[in-house]
């Protein structure tokens, strides 16, 4: 079977298709014929070396959807033929994360899923929500589970809460959609008029162009009558102070990423706002299951920016670097056969 | 000003309109010109003597909406002209209930609101949600706050949870509507085809006629793939065993009332289901505020069965005993002047 | 190696020592040389047929402690030489229990541990707390984890809460000790003066003889200034009404067992007390780990009633039926070789 | 009666004793004859102008204990003769804090308690724990409630958790004592050998001199087998990075103050640690009640550094600036009459 190898730190040009033997599932594992994968900012970080991976070469990517074609001994959660989605962490079934969980990420600590066949743990996979295609299912493991963890699990968001999402990356768009599913009001920020239109179409109640507004935190606070209940913070040091300014007293901030660039804060700003700030790193299999049930029940459809064929994985990685995208980038394994 | 007096235990025929002086607000109190009141099963219980009240005569009812016409010293939450809704408990601002909270119910431990003017605590009132009329606002204090407490606060319900509501009393209809606001799936039971149609129109995802089905708990479990996450239990001993049968393992039951009649259970049935069962008695001012914010944001409109003029309060009480109603019974104070 | 076989439903006389091959650990499993086992009321229920087991013959018992002598592939939590304790459920690592968890109990749904060597899941075992002997460690899996789940996890008990424990069974004695570890005040009931003395020596703050007091719930409420915060309810229908009477408003009841005999309650009694009632069935591996850490840090020593040699397992079962015991019954595998 | 006036921003030299009329309690208020007050770092900040107060002149201090000598109308929580302790916030009875709560601090937004008689809200006071003297009771309102909020309420700390406290200020010493009350393990840091000895005597399990150790966060992590569960962070920017380093993954940080001096952090450090960080500002009346119950049940005695007579309040303020103190500074109103 074919898979891709990446040399972590050597950039996306090191991505190479290789041929190898089909793996076999051991006890409590399943063999999945991968139909689609999706990419996350973290995958670029692994390629560039910003995030370390101990594996050289590495099969990249954490996000896959496909069909179970074989099950190992003692598997109880799946049968062959099931449509499944991988979980980012292979060893975080539920409850509090353990050190073992932290070192079980696909496409990083463990070999990833950009391959025609992959073996994953049965408790490191969930059923693909019925209404979704496998291309759509492949968008869930990292970005959607992170957004669900932030908004629904940690955030405990429900009507009448207001959440703030920054930009149009995968986590932010999923957070917007999940917020609407839970009855929350959503404030969405972008610096592109075209994207703002799309965010509004996805259900955002208030859309603001923060490109020209260096004080956008105060603007959000003013527009929401005192601040939002929860900020889904993907910007990092460059945006954190404004995110705190946008928050109501005793509100919550999910710290998820640093796409906005460097910057520092005075930790007493957290005290001044009586904020609760939580670092969020994807989530557990249990969270993925609740997300999938909510997607199935609520009719959420993942937003896909572009689909690339398997043969053009390198182009998919390159596309992820573009600023004009909105939603997820998918690689379809059924396309691109020579 | 005019108000009604009731002799607790002497039945609804003891309800008499009386004339008296207009009250004045003391420190931290507000004077409200009542526009509308609503009735609850509990008010019939006080009339009949099933629920005790230490006050004779008693101004009945806990649920009022109206306009603030005067504020006492040190009031900060309201100004004259504000549209407000009473809180069932006058001394449960938030947090855990205290013994003082338990003995601060309007129209029971304290004099009630079936009067042209009432004085209530400023922290025993909330602003009427903007989109609602005062007739609609008057439906909230007991039934809607109870449903919100059960479903949103205790129940922690959100998509993809499934809740079960029994019949078409005030709490059950509000629970249905609140469940939909939070993205939950709602199963509604009734024994009337006409009511089932209305429950479906209100958004119930699954409607079942349980009139002929003595084993309706199992039916619900089968129809929901293993049981619901939460039962809003208003039936009491007559329905509790079926409610447990309808529940998934480790699910929740809000015990709210006993309109279904007498009956007992083996407490080990709670263990067998690994259920969590919570007695719910209305809620705090803080809960009422979150409910009102959710109503304003989510567009929920209370379902009103019938509106009676002030002069016909006794007829309103009598109407509450009918089994063919759906939604709340309201007394409009602006109607019925002689 | 030697193990015991039981014919579920055929009584403890069906317990027979058999010789068989030593098992081998598969992927993610460990092989444990069992040093000690302990018994629980549930094991008598399986022998008598009160609790069903699908396995005939069944190796009984869920509670074992011993030494890891071999690990299967991909085991990361243990190495040979580790002292370990079994977990009651082999498939409840943490988080919310799943249906799979419910059918993974040792010595019931799965073969048990009354054997010289057993294979268990690596995520179905925890390290034995350093200060405990393996005899002491063997007392933890069912009774102590249940008590921890009830008091610390569900109950959220800490100073200044007051808990009530009934009698001197394994769960109640552990609940007393865990309550003291968490800074709680403990009320303990017994009908034996000798046992009351021992409960006091274990730290119980208030000890009451409830043998002659049919209204002991009210007595407890009076002695605690309005009722306890949490009842560890092991009595079932025969004691539940008194347990509710002993509870403060909005307090909690863990429903764990029915050793007191049959009886029913009106579910509206739960409403009248605004109680929260939770069915508790042992707990997860994550809970067992926190329990073990608390035991190691706090110096708790399990109370052992009697230790029997391996050869006299049947006598151990018989002893469990006696009413005059206090604490756990242990079978020592290193004793009783012919 | 006599009280002190302070000119906020004019320094502690502006503190002047004045004579004025005895206040009278209005509805829902109590009149307290103050026996003792205690000081907090915040009071120095108000004197210096670092913290703003709208009142000029201001009666300083938030912490008082004394005897109820008169109650206003409708007071139900107290009777004359009760020994009471003030609550820092006069309008945060329980539940989630409101904007009104935030602007109800004694000795800041509202006039304070450094006076022979003060009027406070009945729901802004709690009974002094029975075993404590009024001097001891006077130490609780700010520092002890903050520590309780951080450790017990937000932190959810119980055995076997490990907490870290920094230095020997009022909050840190109370946090140490409360941690021990809850069965937690406590790591305490100081740069003074003499203080370390006293922290150990108060029950600290691990005491470290962090004076010479610029990397003390890592040292703590190493000494605790991977990091503490909770840091009671009073140092601010100067210590925050080390506090995060001392924390285990997914641990908690209470952000309480900035006595260590200025400094900034990269917010992504919170993500890297998957930490939860909460700004803590004292607490509610409900929290104060639970603290007092825990103190009474657990035998905690506040640590008092020095007691000054009423006439020497200015010296008490000056003493607060010294670095060699440990525990609280108290002003005794019954001493120092001319």
CA separation for the pair B204, D36 (Å, rounded): 61
Q: Residue C299's CB: how many other CB atoms inside 10 A?
A: 10
CB contact under 8 A, D183 and C298: yes
* CA C49 and chain centroid, separation: 19
Q: Do D286 and B95 count as a contact with CB atoms less than 8 A apart?
A: yes
Residues in chain D closer than 8 A to A262 (CB atoms) = 266
Query: What are the structure tokens assigned to D297, written together?
Result: 């049940």
Nearest to A64 by CA among A8, A10, A150, A4: A4
The answer to whether the beta carbons of residues D44 and D320 sit under 8 Å apart is yes
What residue in B sits closest to A180 (Cα-Cα)? B183
Residues B60, A190: Cα–Cα separation, whole Å: 54
What's the average model confidence in pLDDT over C4-19?
96
Which regions in chain A score pLDDT beneath 70?
336-338
Cβ(D158)–Cβ(C153) under 8 Å? no
Cβ C279–B265 below 8 Å, yes or no? Answer: no
Alpha carbons D53 and C14: distance in angstroms, whole number: 80
The per-residue pLDDT for A302 is 98
Closest listed residue to residue D256, CA positions, set D163, D161, D149, D335:
D149
* pLDDT-above-70 percentage for chain C: 99
Nearest to C281 among B240, B274, B279 (CB): B274
Q: Is the model more confident about A166 or about D100?
A: A166
By Cβ distance, the residue of B159, B290, B296 closest to A182 is B159
Residues D294, C160: C-beta atoms closer than 8 Å: yes
d(CA A320, CA A315): 9
Collapsing DSSP to helix, strand or coil, C81 comes out as: coil
More confident residue, C100 or A129: A129
Residue A262 confidence (pLDDT) = 87
Question: Which residues of chain B neighbour C155 with C-beta distances below 8 Å?
Answer: none
| Residue among C42, C36, C22, C20 at smallest CA distance from C88 | C42
Residues of chain D in contact with residue B73, where contact means CB-CB under 8 angstroms, are 26
Please tell me the predicted confidence (pLDDT) of residue D204. Answer: 98
d(CA C95, nearest CA chain A) in Å: 3
- Paired tokens of C188: 């303990």
Contact assessment for residue A38 and residue A133, using Cβ atoms and an 8 Å cutoff: no
Per-residue DSSP letters for A9-48?
A: TS-GGG-EEEE-PPP---TTEEEEEEEEEE--HHHHHHHH
Strands B2-5 and B16-19, bridge-based pairing:
antiparallel
Dist CA D324 CA B233 (whole Å): 61
What confidence tens digit (pLDDT) does each residue in A251-297 have?
999 999 998 888 999 999 999 999 999 999 999 999 999 999 999 99
| Tens-level pLDDT at each residue, chain B (338 residues) | 999 999 999 999 999 999 999 999 999 999 999 999 999 999 999 999 999 899 999 999 999 999 999 999 999 999 999 999 999 999 999 999 888 898 999 999 999 999 999 999 999 999 999 999 999 999 999 999 999 999 999 999 999 999 999 999 999 999 999 999 999 999 999 999 999 999 999 999 999 998 889 999 999 999 999 999 999 999 999 999 999 999 999 999 999 999 888 899 999 999 999 999 999 999 999 999 999 999 999 999 999 999 999 999 999 999 998 878 899 999 999 875 44
Q: Quick one: pLDDT at residue B336?
A: 53
- Contact (CB<8Å) D298/C158: no
pLDDT of residue B338: 43
pLDDT for A338: 43
Phi, psi (deg, nearest 5) at residue C278? -125, 125
Q: Which residue spans within chain C are E strands per DSSP?
A: 2-5, 16-19, 29-38, 63-71, 83-86, 117-121, 125-127, 162-166, 185-190, 206-209, 228-233, 247-255, 276-279, 304-309, 328-332
C297 and D158 within 8 Å at the Cβ level: the answer is no
Sole residue written with tokens 């957070």: A175
Does pLDDT of D337 surpass 60? no
Contacts of D323 (CB under 8 A, 6+ apart): none
How far, in Å, are C7, C32, C33, C117 from residue C22 at the CA level?
21, 11, 10, 7
CB B263 within 8 A of CB B99: no
Tell me how close the Cα of B64 comes to any Cα of chain C, in angstroms.
Answer: 25
Task: Give the C:D interface size as CB pairs under 8 Å.
Answer: 52
Predicted complex ipTM: 0.96
- Measured between CA atoms, the residue of chain C closest to residue B264 is C266
Alpha-carbon distance C167 to C195, whole Å?
9
Q: Tell which wins on pLDDT, A120 or D210.
A: A120
**D28-54 pLDDT, tens per residue?**
999 999 999 999 999 999 999 999 899
Distance of CA D10 to the CA centre of its chain: 23
pLDDT at A15: 97
- pLDDT averaged over chain C? 95
Q: Which of B298, B307, B275 is nearest to B144 (CA)?
A: B298
Write out the H or E segment, with its range, that includes residue B334.
none
Rg of chain D on CA atoms, in Å: 20
Provide the strand spans (E) within chain B: 2-5, 16-19, 29-38, 63-71, 83-86, 117-121, 125-127, 162-166, 185-190, 206-209, 228-233, 247-255, 276-279, 304-309, 328-332
**DSSP conformation class of B167:** S
Cβ-defined contact of A97 to D249 (cutoff 8 Å): yes
CB contact at 8 A, C83 and C67 = yes
Nearest alpha carbon to residue A160 among B130, B100, D237? B130
**A220 with A187: CB under 8 angstroms?**
yes
Task: For an interface test with A, give the residue of D52, D267, D274 to mutate (most A CBs within 10 A).
Answer: D267
DSSP E strand stretches across A167-309: 185-190, 206-209, 228-233, 247-255, 276-279, 304-309
**What CA–CA distance (Å, rounded) separates A39 from A15?**
14
- Contact list, A160 vs chain B (CB under 8 Å): 290, 293-294, 296-298
What is the C-alpha separation between C301 and C203, in angstroms, rounded? 12
Best of D24, D94, D288 to disrupt the B interface (most B CBs within 10 Å) is: D94
Residue pair C2/C115 in contact (Cβ under 8 Å)? The answer is yes
Query: For residues C37 and C85, what is the distance between their CA atoms, to the nearest angstrom?
Result: 10
State how far the Cα of B173 lies from the Cα of B202, in Å rounded to an integer.
8
Among candidate residues B134, B86, B148, the one with its CA nearest the CA of residue B111:
B86
Angle subtended at Cα B35 by Cα B33 and Cα B39, rounded to the nearest 5 degrees:
120
Q: Chain C residue closest to A75 (CA)? A: C100
Q: pLDDT over 70 for what percent of chain D?
A: 99
Q: In D, which residues are within 8 Å of A279 by CB distance?
A: 270-276
Backbone angles phi, psi at C162, to 5 degrees: -115, 130
Asked if D181 lies within 8 A of C181 by C-beta distance, the reply is: no
The confidence score (pLDDT) of residue A211 equals 84
Q: Is the peptide bond before C288 cis (omega within 30 degrees of 0)?
A: no
Which chain A residues contact residue C284 at CB under 8 A? 95
Out of D160, D293, D298, closest to residue C297 by CB: D160
Write down the pLDDT at residue D338.
43
**How many whole angstroms separate alpha carbon B234 and alpha carbon B147?**
10
Evaluate whether A325 touches A39 at the Cβ level (below 8 Å).
no
- Whether the predicted pLDDT of D13 surpasses 50: yes
Predicted pLDDT of residue A336: 53
| Number of C-beta neighbours around residue B241 at 10 A | 16
Residues of D with CB under 8 A from a CB of C: 152, 156-160, 181-183, 185, 290, 293-294, 296-298
User: Mean pLDDT, to the nearest integer, of C221-243?
Assistant: 96
Q: Which long-range contacts (CB under 8 A, 24 or more apart) does C19-26 make?
A: C22/C116, C22/C117, C23/C117, C23/C118, C23/C119, C24/C70, C24/C72, C24/C119, C25/C70, C25/C71, C25/C72, C25/C75, C25/C119, C26/A27, C26/A73, C26/A74, C26/C72, C26/C73, C26/C119
The 10s digit of each residue's pLDDT in D106-119 is 999 999 999 999 99
Question: Helix or strand or coil: residue B272?
Answer: helix
Count of C-beta atoms within a 10 Å radius of residue B321: 10
Chains interfacing with B (3 or more CB pairs < 8 Å): A, C, D
| Alpha-carbon distance values, C269 to B42, B217, B236, B264, C224 (Å) | 17, 21, 10, 10, 20
**pLDDT at residue number A98:** 86
Kindly write down the DSSP assignment for every residue of C238-273, as one continuous string.
GTHHHHHHHEEEEEEEEE---TT----B-THHHHHT
Tell if the CB–CB gap between C160 and D296 is shorter than 8 Å. Answer: yes
Question: What are the beta bridge partners of residue B5?
Answer: B16
Do strands A276-279 and A247-255 pair parallel, antiparallel, or not at all (unpaired)? parallel
Which residue among D26, D95, D100 places its CB closest to the CB of B286? D95
Interface-testing mutation among B24, B25, B28, with chain D (most D C-beta atoms within 10 A): B28
Q: How confident is the model at residue C338 (pLDDT cuts 50, 70, 90)?
A: very low
Whether the pLDDT of residue C337 is over 70: the answer is no
Residue A296: its chain B contacts at CB < 8 A?
Answer: 160
A183 vs B160, B296, B298: nearest CB = B298
Residues of C with a Cβ under 8 Å from any B Cβ are: 96-97, 99, 102, 226, 233, 236-237, 240, 249-250, 255-258, 262-268, 270-281
Indicate yes or no: CB of A281 within 8 angstroms of CB of D268.
no
pLDDT reported for residue C336: 52
Q: What count of Cα atoms within 13 Å lies in the side-chain half-sphere of residue D117?
A: 15
Q: Which of C231, C270, C237 is nearest to C254 (CA)?
A: C231
Residues of A in contact with C95 (CB under 8 A): 93-95, 284, 286
| Separation in Å, CA of A92 to nearest CA in chain B | 21
8 A C-beta contact, residue C319 and residue C329? yes
Whether the full predicted model's pTM is greater than 0.90, yes or no, is: yes
């Amino acid at each position: 079977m074919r898979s891709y190898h990446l040399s972590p730190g050597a950039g996306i040009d090191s991505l190479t298709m290789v041929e190898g033997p089909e793996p076999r599932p051991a006890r409590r594992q399943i063999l999945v014929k991968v139909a689609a994968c999706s990419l996350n900012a973290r995958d670029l970080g692994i390629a560039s070396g910003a995030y370390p991976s101990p594996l050289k070469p590495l099969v990249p990517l954490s996000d896959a959807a496909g069909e179970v074609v074989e099950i190992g001994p003692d598997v109880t959660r799946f049968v062959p033929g099931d449509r499944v989605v991988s979980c980012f962490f292979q060893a975080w079934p539920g409850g509090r994360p353990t050190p073992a969980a932290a070192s079980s990420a696909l496409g990083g600590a463990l070999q990833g899923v950009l391959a025609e066949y992959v073996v994953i743990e049965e408790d490191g996979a969930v059923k693909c929500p019925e209404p979704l295609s496998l291309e759509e299912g492949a968008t869930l493991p990292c970005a959607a589970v992170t957004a669900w963890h932030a908004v629904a699990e940690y955030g405990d968001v429900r009507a009448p809460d207001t959440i703030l999402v920054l930009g149009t990356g995968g986590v932010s768009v999923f957070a917007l959609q999940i917020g609407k599913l839970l009855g929350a009001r959503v404030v969405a920020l972008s610096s592109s008029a075209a994207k703002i239109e799309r965010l509004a179409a996805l259900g955002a109640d208030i859309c603001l162009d923060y490109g020209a507004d260096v004080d956008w935190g105060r603007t959000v606070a003013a527009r929401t009558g005192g601040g939002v209940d929860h900020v889904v913070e993907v910007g990092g040091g460059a945006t954190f102070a404004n995110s705190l300014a946008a928050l109501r007293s005793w509100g919550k901030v999910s710290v998820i990423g640093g796409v906005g660039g460097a910057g520092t804060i005075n930790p007493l700003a957290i005290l001044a706002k009586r904020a609760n700030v939580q670092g969020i790193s994807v989530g557990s299999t249990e969270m993925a299951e609740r997300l999938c049930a909510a997607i199935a029940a609520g009719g959420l459809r993942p937003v896909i920016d572009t689909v690339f064929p398997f043969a053009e994985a390198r182009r998919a990685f390159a596309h992820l670097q573009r600023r004009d995208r909105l939603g997820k980038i998918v690689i379809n394994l059924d396309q691109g056969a020579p």
